[in-house]
Amino acid sequence: MDVATGRILVACMGNLLRGDDGFGVAVARALEERDLPEVVDVVEVGISGVSMAQELLDGYDALILVDAMEREGEEPGTLYIERAEVPELDQYETREIAGFAADMHQTDPMKVLVLGEALGVLPDPTILVGCEPEETDDLEDSLSAPVRAAVPRAVDNIELVVDQLLNRGDDQ
């Protein structure tokens, strides 16, 4: 599979009503202002693993998954850009994987990747673009200052990743 001639999905996850969990949605909206290549599709997939799986069923050669991602000890607004490491499917029972699709609340990006892998639609490479949130538990319709400041940096980095994927294919 050659990413340089294929399609790239930029899937932006998040919940606008949970503060910094809306990071992915803010990135999707900012990407609308950029001049991305025609082979790049940017979609808001909300918080449902089902939405993500449905998008992947259209067949993509690379996936960039954007979401608020918590890591221990990192400052709010810290960006993570890394190749995804999908857990082995044999760690999960079939019923558990099916539950990932049904879970409509605070979907974990790793569960989405496991679901995509189980359905045989998860492309390689899959790149994660995450941002350390400040607050995702309270009902809040705006991003914190550090996460808001991270949005344009994330967009710039996504453009760089897209360029690398298109210019180097799987050799990135």
pLDDT given for residue 170 in this prediction: 46
pLDDT given for residue 23 in this prediction: 95
pLDDT given for residue 172 in this prediction: 42
pLDDT given for residue 82 in this prediction: 94
pLDDT given for residue 171 in this prediction: 47
- Span 3-171 CATH architecture: 3-Layer(aba) Sandwich (3.40)
Q: Are 164 and 172 in contact (CB under 8 A)?
A: yes
pLDDT given for residue 104 in this prediction: 45
What is the mean pLDDT of each successive set of 10 residues along the chain, which is 172 residues long?
75 87 95 95 81 83 93 92 83 70 60 80 92 82 94 98 81 44
- Tally of helices (H runs) and strands (E runs) in the chain: 5, 5
Q: Which burial class, exposed, middle or buried, applies to 119 when counting CB atoms under 10 A from its CB (0-12, 13-18, 19+)?
A: middle
Query: Nearest to residue 114, comparing CAs of 128, 100, 127?
Result: 100
Q: Are 21 and 109 in contact (CB under 8 A)?
A: no
Q: What is the DSSP letter of 86?
A: P
Q: Where are the beta strands (DSSP E) in the chain?
A: 8-13, 40-46, 62-68, 79-83, 126-131
The domain ranges of the chain are 3-171
pLDDT given for residue 144 in this prediction: 94
pLDDT given for residue 130 in this prediction: 94
Whole-model pTM?
A: 0.85
pLDDT given for residue 102 in this prediction: 59
Rounded Cα gap, residues 131 and 5, in angstroms: 29
Question: Up-side HSE of residue 86: CA atoms within 13 Å toward CB?
Answer: 22
